Structure 1
C-alpha cells in the first residue's frame, strides 16, 4: 500500500493540467466531433499529444528555472504592452469558459435529478468550489484535484458498453482522414483550440513554482528535476489525449451510428446516450462531466488570478491564506460569480464557447511564440534552454495554431 500511495503522490502538476483540459466544454467539442463525423477524427488525439506535451513542458521548465509564472517572466524581459494584451484577451476568454462549464455541470446534474433545477446545481457547485479553493491550503487542493482526475476514467468504460468494430477503430486512429469542407475543418480547428488552451500555459508554470516551494530541493534545479518534470507532463498530456480519444469514440460509435449527428452541449450528449447505450452509460458520462468540471474550474479561475496578480505585482498563490493574498482570492471569487451569472444575463453556454474559442485562438499563437523565445533565451533559462526536438514541435504547434486562428476568423467573418 505504501508503494501505491507514494506512486500516486509522485504525480505532479502535469496530470492535473492534462485532466483539466478535458473540461465540460472540451467534452462538448469531442462529442460534436464524434457525432458529426463518426470515427474520422480519432487520429487527432495522436497529433495533439506531442504538441501539447512540448508546449506544456516548456511552460513547466520556465516555472522551475525562473521560479516565477509566465506573466512575471514576460513582464521582466519583454514589453509590458504584451502582458497587458494577454490580460485583455485572457480575462473574458477564461470567464466565458468558466461560465460554460458551470452551466454544463448544472444542466447535466438536472438530467440526473430532473426534479431539481439546473440553476440550483450551478449555484451549489459554484459555492462548493469557492469554499474548497478559499479555505484549503495548496497541498490539500492539489490532493483533491489529483483524486478528481480519477473521475475521467469513466470515459474509458463508456464506449465498451456497446459492441465495437475494433478493426475500424484502429484504422481511424492511425490513418488520418480529412474532409475539405467547412464543417470538418471547423471541427479540426475546434479540437486544436480545445486541447492546446492558453490558460493551461500559465497554470502549468505557476503550479511548478508552487510545487517547488514544497520541495526540499527547491533551490537546486538540475537534470534529474527537469527529467522528472518531463515525465509528469508527458503522463498528464497522454492522459488528457486518451480521454479525448475515448470521448470521440463514444460519440463516434454510439451517437453517430444511432443517427444523432448534431450535439451542441454536454447535456445533449449525455441525454442522447441513454436510449442508445443504456442508463449505465448515461450515468457514467454525466458523472464524468460533473467531476471534470470540479477539476477544471479551479484551474481556469486560478490561471486567471495568477495572470492578473502577476501583471500588477499583487501577492498570489494557492498556498497563501485569504488574508495573506486577498486580491488573488477575490479575483477567483469574481470570476466564478461572473461565470455563474452569465446564464442569467442571456449569454448561452454555446455562445460562451464560441466567444472563448475565438479569444483563445487569437492569443494562443502569440503566446506560443513568446514561450519559444523565453525557453530559448540563455539569459533567462541558463543551460536549460530548448533542445532541437522541443523547438521543432513548438514551431509546428505555432504554425498549426496560427492556421487554425486564420481559418476560424475567416469562418466567423463569413457567418
Structure 2
C-alpha cells in the first residue's frame, strides 16, 4: 500500500513482544491472522452492488456503450478512499460516524435535523433494494411485485435476526456468500461476449456526449458513493473489533469510576415496543484504545479489506456496464431492468439472463440487510434511541411496499431514489473528511495532509456532480 495515506505510517509500528496501552503483550500477526481481520469492508461493499447500481450501469452501457467506463473507475477509486476513512474512524475511536457526530452536535434540534436527512437517505436506499429484489423474483418466478417485496423484506429480517443472535462474523459470512453470487451473476455474460479492448481503453478517457450522459454519470456516482455505506462501515468496524469500551464499563461498575475518568454508563430504560434510550453516552476512549488487537495492525488489515472489497465491487460494476455496452447497445426497452433481462435472454440465451436475475436477487437481499443495519445505527448514534432491527425493518418496508402496491414503475422508482441519495452525500462526506483529519479524534492515526486533500477533492467533485444531477432532474433537462 502507498505510504502517503496517513501519517500513522510515519510512526513505527510496535516492535514484536512489546506492550500496548492496556499492558497486553502483542506481536505482529502472521498473514493468516491478518486475513482473519478482513470482512467488514466486504459487507459494506455490498452497498456498491445494489439494484440502483445495476440500473444505472446497465442504462449507461446500453445508451452510450463504453463512453462512461471512466466514471465507474473514478467512482471506485473515490469509494476506496471514503470507505477506508470510515473504517479507520470506527477502529481508532470505537465509535461509528453517527455516534461521533451525535456527541459533537450539541444543539438538540440540529442533531434531529441531521438525523432526519440521514434517515430519509437510508429509507431511499432501502426502497431501491426492496424493489430490486421484488423485480428479480418477478423475473425468475413470476411472483407479483408486491409479494416479491414482502418476500425480500422477510428474508432481510431473517438475516438481521442472524446478525443479532450469531454476531457480526456469521453475518459477514452470509453477506460474503451473497456477494459471491452477485459477482457470478453479473460477470458471466462478459466472458461469453467479451468487450472490445479498444473500446474499453477509449472509455477510460473522461468525456461526455450530452446532458443525458452527465445525468447518467451522476447517477452512477450517486449509486456508488452512498451515504448509508459510509455510516455502516464505521459501525461494522466498531462492532467487529471494539472491545475496550465494554471492559471500561465493567471496571467502572466494580470500582465506582471508569478508566481515564470517563462517566459511568448507567443502565438503559425501556420505552415500549423494545425501544430504549441510553441515559448517558458511552465512555469516551482515547484514540487507538478501543480494540484488543493493536490499532496499527487493524489499520493495515483494513487497507487490504477495503482494497479487496472495492476491487470486487468495481470489477462487477464495470462488467455490468460492459455487458450492456456489448449486448444491449441500441436495443429498445433496455432502460428498465425487465427490458435488460429480456434483451440479455435474446442476445446471450436464457442461462445468462437467469444468472443476471439471480445476481439481482442476491443484490437486493444483501444490500437491504446492510441498509437496515445502517439505518438503525444512524438513529442510535444521533438520537441515542435504539430500536430493534426487526421492528425497524418492518417500518422501513412500508414505503417500498406502498410503491409496489400502487403499481409505480420500478425502474423509475430506482432512479428517483438515487436523486434522494444525492441530497445526503455532503452530510456524510464533509464530516467524515473533517473528523479523520483531527488529531483530537484519531490521534496519530489522523489523515496525512495528502489524504485530507484527496478527500476534499473527492467531496467537492461528488457534491458538484450531484448538484448537476439535481439541477438536471428538477429542470427537466
Q: Same fold by TM (over 0.5)?
A: yes
Could you tell me how far apart the structure 1 residues matched to 2:90 and 2:77 are?
Answer: 20
Unaligned runs of 5+ in 2: 1-29, 248-289
What are the within-5 Å matches in structure 2 for residues 12-411 of structure 1? 12-80=39-107, 81-114=109-142, 116-135=143-162, 136-138=165-167, 139-154=169-184, 155-162=186-193, 164-172=195-203, 174-179=204-209, 181-213=210-242, 218-256=291-329, 259-260=330-331, 263-315=334-386, 326-345=387-406, 347-411=408-472
When you count helix as a share of all residues, which structure comes out higher?
Answer: 1
Contact 1:71-1:83 within 8 A present in 2 as well: no
- Rg comparison, structure with higher value: 2
Cα distance change on mapping 1:105 and 1:271 into 2, 3 Å: farther
Q: Return 188-197 or 234-243, whichever deviates more.
A: 234-243
Deviations 1:35-78 (A, max 9, x none): 11011111222211221111111111111111111111012123
Question: TM-score, structure 1 length as denominator?
Answer: 0.88
Could you tell me how far apart the structure 2 residues matched to 1:170 and 1:36 are?
Answer: 18
Cα distance change on mapping 1:272 and 1:79 into 2, 3 Å: farther
Cα distance change on mapping 1:271 and 1:97 into 2, 3 Å: farther
Could you tell me how far apart the structure 1 residues matched to 2:139 and 2:407 are?
Answer: 21
Could you tell me how far apart the structure 1 residues matched to 2:149 and 2:470 are?
Answer: 32
Could you tell me how far apart the structure 2 residues matched to 1:168 and 1:198 are?
Answer: 32
Unaligned runs of 5+ in 1: 316-325
Q: CA RMSD in A?
A: 2.5
Could you tell me how far apart the structure 2 residues matched to 1:373 and 1:7 are?
Answer: 29
Could you tell me how far apart the structure 1 residues matched to 2:110 and 2:451 are?
Answer: 24
Deviations 1:257-313 (A, max 9, x none): xx2265343232212211111112101111110111111001111111110122221
Deviations 1:198-220 (A, max 9, x none): 00010000000111147998245
Cα distance change on mapping 1:163 and 1:5 into 2, 3 Å: same
Could you tell me how far apart the structure 1 residues matched to 2:389 and 2:180 are?
Answer: 28
1:178, CA displacement in angstroms?
A: 2.3
Could you tell me how far apart the structure 1 residues matched to 2:61 and 2:161 are?
Answer: 38
**Matched residue of 2:49: which SS?**
coil
Could you tell me how far apart the structure 1 residues matched to 2:407 and 2:199 are?
Answer: 43
Cα distance change on mapping 1:125 and 1:371 into 2, 3 Å: same
Contact 2:153-2:393 within 8 A present in 1 as well: no
Could you tell me how far apart the structure 2 residues matched to 1:159 and 1:335 are?
Answer: 35
Cα distance change on mapping 1:93 and 1:225 into 2, 3 Å: closer
Q: Give 1:318's aligned residue.
A: none
Could you tell me how far apart the structure 1 residues matched to 2:216 and 2:93 are?
Answer: 37
**Matched residue of 2:207: which SS?**
coil
Contact 2:75-2:221 within 8 A present in 1 as well: yes
Cα distance change on mapping 1:102 and 1:363 into 2, 3 Å: closer
Cα distance change on mapping 1:293 and 1:414 into 2, 3 Å: same
Contact 2:92-2:295 within 8 A present in 1 as well: no
